[in-house]
Copies of this chain bind each other. A is one copy, B any other.
């Protein structure tokens, strides 16, 4: 396991301070002194990344696809070493880590398929018309091109799928950008192993030195220094609203502002229509609330229903199901402490009813699933209650009528998702709720929980602020590539000097919009 920073293919350890991994389950400090990057090393890394971009941006889709597939293979080659280290650093169960590893390599291959096929560049062609009066119409051809060096801020809760070789890295590399990952300090060993795999893949597929770099250190030091580097062209981030906003502000205040996509907090409200309360949805919801110990950006943190005996029964069932679920370790001591203190603050409010038993656990870093309930009127008076609490915690809001539900949906912040549970015939009475949701969320789910984010081309994982910093982009699925590319138009350009994607005879046989119609001709 390499403990130095990866400045492209070069290892570097000029710093004095180190990051160490520890096992949140046992509190044991894990082997490896990962040397934090110095300012000098950060500068060198971005410069190298910018230089490598000059070469990498000219690689064909096929060449880049080969690189992404090689990364997936090298990650698989890491085998048990990776899985063990990741389990140890994250405290996540073996099956989850194996599943996440599979998702990571699938994502890399999905982007490989995307860029090998090639239509993602959104080629649009308008043929010229030299006879048009009063002025001739020029020949115009547009496609997407990469931005340049992209910084990726690894997430704590997805040590593989949203970290070193996760969705941000895969989409940025697929788009033709070079990548610099700021390793998450909670899983430096996992990051180092993956970085080694990426560098191996880069070498074996003849990618330029600097196409990928990994830097260790804190968000405050390394992250902030990185985001302010003038050669950096964009960044992707998954994490808390607080950290995301600090970096977003820095990205916006630069002399040359850069796109900064942050996927941040969300409480993923669920509206339980009356018909849904008698069905066996409590178990499904309990599973979603506690999945990964509730440390998912899509964890349902707000459950909204109309007050009455049916809702009371549902709450009782849900509380029982939650209480029966074995507590799991949280990702880190900080996260566990924040979870417990956030609940304590929440409970200090008036008129909060605790529905689950035994609030806190003696076992260090382990979190107890907690369900509370509150009446609609009280929730409306307490906007803080709609802030995300990261962990296996959820609030049921008992509303007096549909109007109150609408008021609550109006009041809450932007969300990654919104779910509606119920029989379809209930919709006629509740159609306004769908409208409210459409305004607030990035994904609308019918009779399903928000966890388990499908990685595909129709997925939108992003939403109005603070769910994400820019609701126009997604961080999951093939469309995540759009964050890191921009259009360029070529006007009256000689055919054989054009990128292949735009040439007259469509040598790549990609889907193109030609004079208003999609065609592969």
Residues on A close to B: CB < 8 A? 54, 58, 124-126, 135, 137-138, 140-142, 145, 147-148, 248-249, 252-253, 256-257, 259, 413-414, 424, 427, 434-435, 438-439, 441-448, 452, 454, 456-460, 462, 464-466, 469-472, 474, 479, 482, 485-494, 497, 511, 513, 516-518
**Closest residue of chain B to A499, judged by CB?**
B438
Point out the residues of chain B lying under 8 angstroms from A427, CB to CB.
494, 497
Q: Which residues of B contact A140 (CB under 8 A)?
A: 454, 456, 458-459
User: How far is B145's CA from A482's CA once the two chains are assembled, in angstroms?
Assistant: 17
Number of copies: 2
Which chain B positions have C-beta within 8 A of A486? 442, 462, 464, 471-472
Q: Are B489 and A444 in contact (CB under 8 A)?
A: yes
Q: Is the CB of A490 within 8 A of B257?
A: no
Closest residue of chain B to A474 (Cβ to Cβ) is: B487
| Interchain residue pairs with CB less than 8 A apart (18) | A124-B457, A124-B458, A124-B479, A126-B458, A137-B454, A142-B479, A256-B414, A259-B472, A427-B497, A441-B488, A444-B488, A444-B490, A445-B491, A446-B493, A446-B497, A448-B491, A448-B492, A472-B487
- Which residues of the other chain, B, contact A441 by a CB distance below 8 angstroms? 488
Task: Using A469-B257, A470-B259, A486-B472 as known contacts, say yes or no to A492 and B447 having CB atoms under 8 A apart.
Answer: yes
Q: Is the CB of A487 within 8 A of B424?
A: no
Known A-B contacts A253-B249, A518-B518; A126 and B457 likewise in contact (beta carbons under 8 Å): yes
**A443, B138: Cβ atoms closer than 8 Å:** no
A474 to chain B: which residues have CB within 8 Å? 487
Complex Cα spacing A488 to B461, Å: 9
Bound: A511/B511 CA distance, A: 12
Expressed in whole angstroms, the minimum distance between the Cβ of A199 and any Cβ of chain B is: 25
Query: B138–A454 contact, CB under 8 A?
Result: yes
For residue A478, give the distance in angstroms from its CB to the closest CB of chain B.
9
Report yes or no: A491 in contact with B259, Cβ–Cβ below 8 A: no
In the complex, what residues of B have CB within 8 A of residue A479's CB?
A: 124, 142, 487
**Interchain CB contact under 8 A, A445 and B492:** yes
Chain B residues, Cβ within 8 Å of A462: 486-487
Evaluate whether A434 and B470 lie within 8 angstroms (CB atoms) in the complex, with A138-B454, A491-B443 already known: no
- The interface residues of chain B lying within 8 Å CB-to-CB of A435 are 54, 58
In the complex where A140-B456, A488-B444, A518-B511 touch, is A465 in contact with B126 (Cβ < 8 A)? no
Q: Which residue of B lies closest to A450 (CB)?
A: B491
Chain B nearest CB from A496 CB (Å) reads 9
- Looking at A126, A471, A517, which has the most chain B CB atoms within 10 Å of its CB? A471
By a CB distance below 8 angstroms, the chain B residues around A452 are 135
Contact B492–A446 (Cβ < 8 Å): yes
Contacts of A137 in B (CB 8 A): 454, 456
Q: What 7 A-B pairs have minimum CB-CB distances, sorted nearest first?
A: A252-B252, A140-B458, A460-B489, A126-B458, A518-B518, A471-B486, A443-B489
Whether A424 pairs with B454 at a CB distance below 8 angstroms is no
**Residue of B whose beta carbon sits closest to that of A471:** B486
Q: How far is B413's CA from A456's CA once the two chains are assembled, in angstroms? A: 37
**How far is B469's CA from A252's CA once the two chains are assembled, in angstroms?**
10
